[in-house]
Amino acid sequence: MKLQLNVQYGVMRANLPAKSTIRRWAQAALKGLRYRRAALGVRVVGARESAALNARFRHQCHPTNVLSFPFEAPPGPRSEILGDLVICAPVVRQEARQQNKIFRAHWAHMVVHGILHLRGYDHRNRRDAAVMEQMEIRILKELGYANPYLQ
């Protein structure tokens, strides 16, 4: 599958994953998707922008690690546009530190988790959460990272 990836950095890029690294994680999360092409946006933001988006779209007044915005195409042929991810760099950094996780592994997990949401997976109930978590574990293992739910 050919991936059209647009990565935007709304914060300083120092110590953040490069676009090529995000692409590798995204391609792993999209493996098995039956699209010839897919388009995806990833925006890396600070706490203020994350909190504003989280308040507007989820009615929660705090920054969060990753927000997924699936593209809702009008009726007709299937769209190649998957949607957008917004990842809050300070929250991901803080979570990795607090949970004693490897920084890159936690970033990979956030990208994979967000893309699975764009693919239609969710964790609103125990059964759906178990399915989604098993997919995350498998994808992250393929990327060389440990199970994020055991750390």
Q: Strands across the sheet with 66-70, in order?
A: 2-9, 37-45, 81-88, 66-70
- For the full predicted model, state whether its pTM sits above 0.85: yes
Task: Give the residues across from 66 on adjacent strands.
Answer: 87
pLDDT at 33: 86
Which contiguous run of DSSP H or E holds residue 67?
Answer: strand 66-70
**What is d(CA 101, CA 121) in angstroms, rounded to the nearest whole number?**
24
pLDDT at 87: 98
pLDDT grade, residue 151 (50/70/90)?
low
As a whole number, mean pLDDT of residues 129-150 equals: 96
**What is d(CA 128, CA 125) in angstroms, rounded to the nearest whole number?**
6
pLDDT at 24: 98
Diameter of the chain measured on Cα atoms: 46
In CATH, 2-142 is 3.10.450.50: no
Residue-wise pLDDT for 21-50, tens only, equals 999 999 999 998 888 899 999 999 999 999
* Residue 21 CB neighbours (<10 A): 15
Residue-wise pLDDT for 52-99, tens only, equals 999 999 999 999 999 999 998 888 777 799 999 999 999 999 999 999
